[in-house]
Structure 1
Amino acid sequence: MKDEQETETLLEFPCDFSIKAMGRTEPGFDLMVVEMIRNHVPNLHEGAVKSRSSKGGKWVSVTVTIRASSKAQLDAIYLDLTAHEKVVMAL
């Protein structure tokens, strides 16, 4: 019999997982995203954050790679990110 976690996701926890948040280019956007994720993953490792600007410079994407411990943790992170007015999209 499969446990409940297996039926909800194909991921096996713990696992490395990249979270991307996109928004308008403005000072502090990347720091805001990192702080929101750090609320759920306090031990982010060095090099976990990468930022990339769009070709025209109007948009920025921030990718944070975490060691995810559960689907509930990922769901909570995505809920926080998508609820924030400055985050246009989270993947």
Structure 2
Amino acid sequence: MSRTDTLLEFPCRFPIKAFGERDEAFETTVYELVKPHVPELERDDLSRRLSSGGRYVSVTVEIVARSKDQLDAIYADLSASERVLMAL
């Protein structure tokens, strides 16, 4: 399999999860990082969940992924953010 090959068939529903410290603005940060890559993204496409200790939050964004390049760009932007501790 070459670097550009993928097991995904596009377009497809794809969940992206970002973890950060609990902060009311974290969800907005994730939304603003993903929105340029997914123009049809709505706030309803995001869900959040607190960690068991309440210190961290995970935000899941459900998108319709169009390509591997699109996903790579989203993950690059999330990973470059100081506020995002991890993106899956």
Quick one: which amino acid aligns to residue 82 of structure 1? S
User: Helix, strand or coil for the counterpart of 2:79?
Assistant: helix
Query: Structure 1 residue 76 and structure 2 residue 73: aligned?
Result: yes
Deviation at 1:46, TM superposition (A): 5.9
Query: Structure 1 residue 28 and structure 2 residue 25: aligned?
Result: yes
Q: Which digits, 9 at most, give the CA deviation of each residue in 1:10-38, with x for residues without a partner?
A: 00000000000000001200011011100
Residues 31, 43 of structure 2: 8 Å contact kept: no
- Taking only aligned residues, the RMSD between alpha carbons, in angstroms, comes to 1.7
Q: For 1:43-82, list aligned pairs within 5 A.
A: 43-45=40-42, 47-82=44-79
* TM-score, structure 1 normalization: 0.89
Residue matched to 1:8: 5
Gaps of 5+ in 2: none
Gaps of 5+ in 1: none
Q: Which digits, 9 at most, give the CA deviation of each residue in 1:12-67, with x for residues without a partner?
A: 00000000000000120001101110010010246311000011110000000000
Residue matched to 1:87: 84
Counterpart CA distance in 1 for 2:74 and 2:47 is 17
User: Helix, strand or coil for the counterpart of 2:44?
Assistant: coil
Counterpart CA distance in 1 for 2:43 and 2:34 is 14
Identity of aligned residues (%): 54
Q: How many residues align?
A: 87
Counterpart CA distance in 1 for 2:57 and 2:32 is 16
Alpha carbons of structure 1 residues 61 and 68: separation in structure 2 relative to 1, 3 Å? same
